[in-house]
Structure 1
Amino acid sequence: MAARDGSKDGDDSILEPLCFPEQSADDESSAPSAPSLQHRPSTELLVCLFCSEFEQKDVLLKHLLLQHKLVIADVKLIADLPKYMLYWKGRFLEQPVTDFCSVIKTNSTGPVEKQEDYFLLCDVLPEDRILRENLQQRRLEEVLEQQQKERDDSSFHRLCMFCSDEFSGNRSSLLNHMAREHSFSIGLPDNIVYCNDFLDTLQSKLDNLQCLYCERNLQR
């Protein structure tokens, strides 16, 4: 996990969440065989904080800005956005948005009729900061639990990505084989989490002649 640059009043900064990068539409079209990661699907619908609208993340964030004049800061650092949205939807039903958000007035030096108030929801608010930290802690606990399950799992079964050897039992047999026989190491087996998803992603990139280092697509 990497810390976000900067801090407020000497406090530790919010850490980046443990999650897979979302797959864009361009990625899906260029690599149709790429597996979809199930942990945080990019197509998941989120509820609006003010109305009954349900949309995908990017569409909903645009909706919040244009229709409700609200911006959520550092969205990418929120470990569980659906739970974050549900929490604040409930709080906004209890108290006005101005109790929680910084108010930004546009065109402040212009005529009053052309001025607009926008609202910024961010971790400057202690309640928001605590919520983000709690969601991140829960996500970390989920990842550590999954990691331990995979360490103890004896049902792993997979072919080597570079030869026809087949491995069953613990994932370490395959990972150690690739490191030893093919000089391809993805790290210590005990440190890997969501191993099958990770290997599926690597296999997809290799099948599509995509460099694992720079992600450039090579011509066939």
Structure 2
Amino acid sequence: MDFMKSERAKESFGPLIFEENRCDLLQNVDTRCLLCEDEFNLQISLPMFLAHIFDVHNIVIEDVQNIANLHDYIRYWQQKFKNTTIEQIIPSITFDSTNQKYFLMSNLLKEDKELRHKLKLEYALKVQEYERNDKSFIRFCLMCKLCYEGSRQGYLEHLSVQHNLQLGNPQNLVFVDELINTIESKMSNLQCIYCERIFTDRHVLKEHMRKKLHKRINPENEEYDRFYIVNYLEPNKSWKTILKEDDRYAISREANADEEYSDWNEKEDQIICLFCKAKETDINVICLHMEAEHGFSFTDITKDLDFFQKVKLINYIRKQIHENRCSYCQLKFETFVDLEKHLTGENHYKIPHLKTFDQPEFYFPTYENDAFLYLIDDVEDN
């Protein structure tokens, strides 16, 4: 009869054995039971431990697979149950008409919820610290044939600088390997990581992501939330909730343009010439226009600049032209027509000395913020 009741209870509470969704951190040490002296190695005998506390002590730990450090979780409650009985702390559930009580340990109990969050945050911080200090990271680039060796931050900077692939501020990332695996899997399946559309081949996917500013993750997709430490700071609060509450993190977002997202309409995307009002929807066409009309070959002129210097140059030129000022000699004019005459007559459709525009103030777009800023790639995919 006891066996039948136990089996019926198991059916009600769900499976007790977890094969794929194991706890993130199962220490390879013996852990004593919550209420008795029996010990279990959670790394190799978690199902046995769960069956023991269920059959012997009528205890069910809800969502055990999501507890970041089960060893410390159990030790915490061991100490609590030494001074206070489990009946006084943990709510019980009576099963059917048998009057058999089962104690459900879940985040419905405030103390349990706070403990789970504390362990989860501590674990995420430990992983982040390891990822920051580890210099033995080796991985092929997602966009080219480079086999990168060094730190994860260096790898992310390579993706950002060389390919304009923005995965977020490295200081805010955690579980980086899993994040890269996720991005790689989507791209291998020819799926855009931003709009998640499926394409016919890799070349079409690459062009779509480049032209439509989709070389970044979709912030609306909660699948990515676990990879950003800001989502671990407070229980059940994502970055969206925190941003609505105060502006502490809004400053951080503003300071890191890779966390800003725009949902561009494909029919409305237009790229404006750096020196006149001409507009095109194709970056190659606008570059040909600048070369033919202004003698300004963007590719050749900026071949020795890195991505960030190109962004600064574009913002600098935008600002100067917006103010009717020559971007080469800084001479100011009353009208745009006068400026055009000067640029053509003096052949000043060229870039000034690097120090003139390679300034922090020109990194963030403030003048005519169009797609041109982000459609320039230093390195084409091989």
What TM-score results when the alignment is normalised by the length of structure 1? 0.54
Name 1:130's counterpart in structure 2: 114
C-alpha distance in 2, partners of 1:187/1:139?
A: 21
Tell me the C-alpha RMSD between the 2 structures: 4.3
Name 2:173's counterpart in structure 1: 192
Out of 58-67 and 137-146, give the one that drifted further: 137-146
State yes or no: 1:24 paired with 2:20.
yes
**Deviation by residue 1:92-121 (Cα, 9 ceiling, x = unmatched):** 2333221111122223xx4xxx43122222
Task: Kindly indicate which of the two structures has a greater share of residues assigned to helix.
Answer: 2
Name 1:142's counterpart in structure 2: 126
C-alpha distance in 1, partners of 2:122/2:34?
A: 22
Cα pair distance change 1:45/1:144, threshold 3 Å: same
**Deviation by residue 1:175-199 (Cα, 9 ceiling, x = unmatched):** 4555687887655544433435655
Percent identical across equivalent pairs? 27
C-alpha distance in 2, partners of 1:192/1:182?
A: 19
Name 2:83's counterpart in structure 1: 94
Q: Could you tell me which amino acid in structure 2 is paired with residue 82 of structure 1? A: H
2:95 pairs with one of 106, 115, 118: 106
Q: Secondary structure at the match of 2:101?
A: strand
Out of 43-52 and 84-93, give the one that drifted further: 43-52
Cα pair distance change 1:210/1:85, threshold 3 Å: farther
Out of 77-86 and 163-172, give the one that drifted further: 163-172
What TM-score results when the alignment is normalised by the length of structure 2? 0.35
Cα pair distance change 1:205/1:40, threshold 3 Å: farther
Name 1:9's counterpart in structure 2: none
Highest RCO, 1 vs 2 (Cα 8 Å, sep ≥ 6): 1
Q: Secondary structure at the match of 1:128?
A: helix
C-alpha distance in 2, partners of 1:38/1:60?
A: 13
State yes or no: 1:115 paired with 2:99.
yes
Structure 1 spans left out of the alignment, 5+ residues: 1-21, 26-36, 215-220
Cα pair distance change 1:79/1:160, threshold 3 Å: same
Cα pair distance change 1:181/1:69, threshold 3 Å: same
State yes or no: 1:166 paired with 2:123.
no
Residue 85 of structure 1 deviates from its aligned partner by 0.6
State yes or no: 1:71 paired with 2:71.
no
Residue 82 of structure 1 deviates from its aligned partner by 1.1
C-alpha distance in 1, partners of 2:48/2:69?
A: 17
C-alpha distance in 1, partners of 2:179/2:23?
A: 12
In 1, are the aligned partners of 2:63 and 2:106 still within 8 Å (CA)?
Answer: yes
Q: Could you tell me which amino acid in structure 1 is paired with residue 84 of structure 2? A: Q
Name 1:8's counterpart in structure 2: none
Residue 84 of structure 1 deviates from its aligned partner by 0.6
Name 1:3's counterpart in structure 2: none
Residue 83 of structure 1 deviates from its aligned partner by 0.4
For these two proteins, the number of residue pairs brought into alignment is 171
Name 2:269's counterpart in structure 1: none
C-alpha distance in 2, partners of 1:96/1:38?
A: 27
**Deviation by residue 1:15-60 (Cα, 9 ceiling, x = unmatched):** xxxxxxx9729xxxxxxxxxxx996259876542123141533332
Q: Secondary structure at the match of 1:24?
A: coil
Cα pair distance change 1:166/1:124, threshold 3 Å: closer
Query: Quick check: which has more Rg, 1 or 2?
Result: 2
Q: Secondary structure at the match of 1:64?
A: helix
**Deviation by residue 1:130-185 (Cα, 9 ceiling, x = unmatched):** 323332342343244345x25xx665444436654233444455445556878876
Name 1:57's counterpart in structure 2: 46
C-alpha distance in 1, partners of 2:79/2:99?
A: 29
Cα pair distance change 1:60/1:205, threshold 3 Å: farther
Cα pair distance change 1:44/1:38, threshold 3 Å: farther
C-alpha distance in 2, partners of 1:180/1:91?
A: 52
Q: Could you tell me which amino acid in structure 2 is paired with residue 101 of structure 1? A: I
Q: Secondary structure at the match of 2:93?
A: strand
